[in-house]
Structure 1
């Protein structure tokens, strides 16, 4: 197993194989790198492919501190430096897209070749005049309470909301196992922080090629949120996934892999 030591208590688990153009897959809140199990074997044959578990998630250390999107972005920078990666392509799903945007806000795009945003609105919170979020204050308060009081029941139901069609029992089982690796204290902390961040005004900082992938089934976000992003990142491309909700890489893995591969291959 590969681990990067961030400090005396914090180690990040990562996997990396392949040669050539580096690509990093970044998972969503309460999830893990294992969500990219249909991508890792495909892309490692063509690229230097890396996936990792954010602190508190998956096989990474369950430290009780550092659980903000901004700090996750700093952890990402340390991983890139540790692996001595140049001109990386960052693929961010859900909160992973927030991590990508925050990374760019903090460190710029000098060492980033391209970005892929996977089913994530620029802000999860339903601010006044903002319709492409997922949570009101009452809703996020309810989510935090549910995680604290009965995390497993909350997770069981949450999983169904991520798919257009009901996932097979074995898929639901492994996802629940991955989600339950995140302690309730960490889950509720980062869920709140990632709901409060807002990247609407900083999308213009993304001055590199960008692919935007959204599921047509809008249990989380409508494709219109992707259109909002597309209008604010010059030259970006939006691809809807007609048979998907939030987990397009699991729901339509072949299309997802081909769209990303085509995008990567056409980068200058």
Structure 2
């Protein structure tokens, strides 16, 4: 993963029954960064220099992704959130902020819900909370993903990345099978969102995989949009929560946009 001007060697942490790969960049308050499905921490290369100015960024490769080998368990947000909680404890991080995109956003939300005592602030990017929030045509594609698609994905950046960095490049069809099975399951995490007790910012593109109205709905679960914010911010959501809909972006461009870095840093660096 590129840092400011050079490459940095990563490390592994044997936690929660998995050998998690991570890279540390920058200095300052810790920030754990979680990538999207079929990706790795390298996805954030264009915005990492900005995030690492004033923060110690811990970019993690989730189960079966990037440089982290798969283990004998299905993809499950609870298990992956437990991996992150164990990594935070293993590294001795003091209430790090969590920033996750797509799959990583779901993992970050679950980690903040299950392990709030470990977390500072949370930023969940392009992470919808209900199956039916996704556009029907996208939902149809998600439910059809299997390892059989590997042959047709050989010219994609996801395949190239996996072949370049994965401990077992031949496992790409297995990754597709697992993530396909994960996406085929119906879910509704609205109760977990409503119960969040750490300051949370929900972020989405204005042309994301789910409509902006879905993220506004989730913001309302966090006391957002209930009243005028007031001259001094006295009417803002209780708990320090926020919402950002970023213009001109999609689910497939938001993770590398300077707008994302600007929004994330504004939220994380604001007084609690």
Which category of TM-score, normalised to the shorter sequence, fits these structures? 0.7 to 0.9
Residues 152 and 32 of structure 1: is their aligned pair in 2 closer, same or farther, counting only changes over 3 Å?
farther
In structure 1, the partner of 2:13 is 4
- Partners of 1:57 and 1:105 in 2: CA distance: 23
Whether the 8 Å CA contact 2:16–2:83 is kept in 1: the answer is no
- Residue 186 of structure 1: SS of its match in structure 2? helix
Counterpart position of 1:233 = 222
Q: 2:255 maps to what in 1?
A: 249
Distance in 2 of aligned mates of 1:178 and 1:77:
26
User: Aligned partners of 1:29 and 1:66: how far apart in 2?
Assistant: 14
The residue number in structure 2 matching 1:264 is 268
- Give the deviation of 1:61 after TM superposition: 1.4
The secondary structure found in structure 2 opposite 1:187 is helix
Q: TM-score, normalised by structure 1?
A: 0.80
Alpha carbons of structure 1 residues 28 and 221: separation in structure 2 relative to 1, 3 Å: same
Equivalent residues in 2 for 1:1-268 (5 A)? 1-6=10-15, 10-107=18-115, 109-123=116-130, 125-126=131-132, 131-132=133-134, 139-144=141-146, 148-154=147-153, 174-178=157-161, 181=166, 183-196=172-185, 197-218=187-208, 220-234=209-223, 235=237, 236-246=241-251, 247-250=253-256, 253-268=257-272
Measured in 1, the distance between the counterparts of 2:174 and 2:144 equals: 15
> For residues 111 and 150 of structure 2, what CA distance do their matches in structure 1 show?
30
Q: Structure 2: which 5+ residue stretches go unaligned?
A: 1-9, 224-236
Check whether the contact 2:64–2:71 (CA below 8 A) recurs between aligned residues: yes
Q: How many residues align?
A: 239
Q: What SS is found at the alignment partner of 1:61?
A: coil
Structure 1 residues 76, 26: closer, same or farther in 2, change over 3 A?
Answer: same
Asked if 2 retains the 8 angstrom alpha-carbon contact of 1:56 and 1:183, the reply is no
Structure 2 CA distance for aligned equivalents of residues 37 and 30 of structure 1: 16
Across the aligned residues of Structure 1 and Structure 2, the Cα RMSD in angstroms comes to 2.4
Gap regions ≥5 residues in structure 1? 157-172
